[in-house]
């Protein structure tokens, strides 16, 4: 079966799912062409030959200021003519399209009448996934139309739609040796290093050792209790697995990894990122974690004092997904979802 697999690289979650699924799908006999679009797509292709044959497109990109989305920067990065040229450069024929909320592949499948399966957190919002009190009508339209699919396999921490699956946890996380160290891991990529340094070297945080990612410019923190590291996948996983607690943005994949590893979390959603606001709503509603709307050292320190590790059960969907796709999708998506959550075999 000839398959077009598209993922967006505006965040690490889509990227890590591609690195988990693409080799497995190839090993199962699917003939995959992979495309990516977004901020880090070109560097992603250089670092990971397992994704070849591979095309990296500019796509649509969010740009961030200090703690939130920069709408002017996002608009400046929009290249509609290049987007159209990239779309037209996709060549078929394909028997199936799989998209991780990537618009070029999704719309190619829609416009060419090819069955399209969506595997992404965003497809959980095609149903009753938790939302904040104020539903953002524009963001809801984006959920529905940004990357349309025929079969929406939404990923979430609870089965909130008939086709919802648990999060795809990368093998490196599942194999990590978990311990409870003395440090707090901080991952707030929308904030500049100076802001992170000031927050976590404040007097209220003096009793905590802090390891923060990422350091983009060889910044040397002023706080004696703060270490800011350049991003390294291996180093990050080690610091995550041994962290006492995690302070992070409200991205779905990292929160899922924290839940799997039993790490208490304090989430700070990126300003203007509606999906992350929905995620903290789910955390609070389902009793999975704590959140604050803006970073304050006194509030973070108070929540850290009460943080206790609790490992949450998250069934592993990867084998099910690979078997279902490579077997020709004989069962419905609803039957697949039920089998995964109940730990039953796919017949």
- We report the CATH number of the domain holding residue 240 as 3.40.50.2000
In this structure, are 227 and 260 located in the same domain?
yes
Beta-ladder partners of 117: 98, 151
Evaluate whether residue 225 is within a structural domain: yes
Per-residue pLDDT at 42: 43
**Average pLDDT, rounded, for the chain:** 89
329 in helix, strand or coil?
A: coil
In this structure, are 131 and 190 located in the same domain?
no
Evaluate whether residue 159 is within a structural domain: yes
Cβ neighbours around 341 below 10 Å, total: 15
In this structure, are 91 and 181 located in the same domain?
no
Q: Whole-model pTM? A: 0.90
Do 19 and 34 meet the contact criterion of CB atoms below 8 Å apart? no
C-alpha 309 chain-centroid distance: 22
Per-residue pLDDT at 78: 65
CA distance 325 to 347: 13
In this structure, are 125 and 235 located in the same domain?
no
Encode burial over 51-83: b for 16+ CB neighbours within 10 A, e otherwise: beebbbbbbbbbbbbebebbeeeeeeeeeeeeb
Evaluate whether residue 200 is within a structural domain: yes
Evaluate whether residue 115 is within a structural domain: yes
Evaluate whether residue 72 is within a structural domain: yes
Per-residue pLDDT at 45: 47
Per-residue pLDDT at 97: 98
What is the domain range of residue 185?
171-306
In this structure, are 7 and 152 located in the same domain?
yes
Evaluate whether residue 210 is within a structural domain: yes
In this structure, are 336 and 237 located in the same domain?
no
In this structure, are 185 and 90 located in the same domain?
no
Those residues of the chain that have pLDDT short of 50 are 41-45, 347
In this structure, are 157 and 290 located in the same domain?
no
CATH code at position 44: 3.40.50
Supply the DSSP string of 143-179, one letter for each residue.
Answer: HHHSS--SEEEEB-SS--STT-B-----HHHHT----
**Overall domain count for the chain:** 2
Maximum separation of any 2 CA atoms in the chain, in Å: 61
Evaluate whether residue 216 is within a structural domain: yes
In this structure, are 212 and 180 located in the same domain?
yes
Evaluate whether residue 347 is within a structural domain: no
In this structure, are 196 and 235 located in the same domain?
yes
In this structure, are 108 and 229 located in the same domain?
no
In this structure, are 32 and 116 located in the same domain?
yes
Sequence-separated (6 or more) residues with CB below 8 Å from residue 50: 19, 22, 23
Cβ-in-10-Å burial (0-12, 13-18, 19+) of 200 comes to: buried
């Amino acid at each position: 079966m000839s398959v077009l697999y598209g993922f967006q690289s505006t965040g690490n979650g889509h990227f890590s799912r591609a690195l988990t699924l693409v080799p497995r799908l190839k090993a199962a006999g699917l003939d995959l062409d992979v495309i990516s679009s977004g901020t880090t797509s070109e560097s992603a292709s250089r670092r990971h030959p397992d994704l070849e044959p591979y095309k990296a497109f500019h796509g649509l990109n969010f740009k961030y200021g200090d703690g939130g989305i920069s709408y002017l920067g996002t608009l400046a990065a929009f290249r509609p003519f290049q987007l159209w040229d990239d779309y037209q450069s996709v060549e078929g024929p394909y028997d199936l399209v799989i998209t991780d909320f990537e618009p070029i592949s999704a719309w190619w499948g829609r416009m060419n009448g090819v069955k399209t399966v969506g595997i992404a957190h965003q497809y959980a919002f095609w149903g009753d996934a938790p939302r904040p009190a104020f539903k953002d009508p524009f963001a809801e339209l984006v959920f529905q139309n940004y990357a349309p699919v025929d079969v929406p396999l939404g990923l979430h921490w609870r089965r909130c739609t008939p086709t919802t699956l648990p999060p795809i946890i990368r093998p490196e996380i599942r194999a990590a040796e978990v311990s409870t160290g003395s440090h707090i891991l901080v991952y707030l990529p929308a904030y500049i290093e100076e802001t992170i340094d000031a927050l976590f070297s404040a007097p209220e945080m003096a009793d905590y050792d802090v390891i923060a990612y990422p350091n983009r410019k060889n910044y040397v923190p002023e706080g004696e209790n703060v270490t800011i590291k350049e991003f390294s996948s291996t180093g990050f996983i080690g610091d995550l697995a041994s962290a006492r607690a995690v302070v992070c943005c409200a991205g779905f994949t990292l929160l899922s990894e924290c839940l799997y590893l039993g790490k208490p979390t304090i989430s700070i959603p990126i300003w203007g990122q509606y999906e992350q606001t929905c995620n903290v709503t789910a955390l609070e509603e389902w009793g999975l974690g704590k959140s604050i709307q803006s970073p304050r050292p006194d509030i973070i320190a108070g929540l850290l004092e009460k943080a206790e590790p609790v490992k949450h059960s998250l069934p592993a969907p990867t084998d099910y997904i690979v078997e279902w796709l490579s077997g020709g999708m004989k069962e419905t998506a609803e039957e697949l979802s039920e089998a995964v959550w109940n730990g039953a075999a796919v017949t």
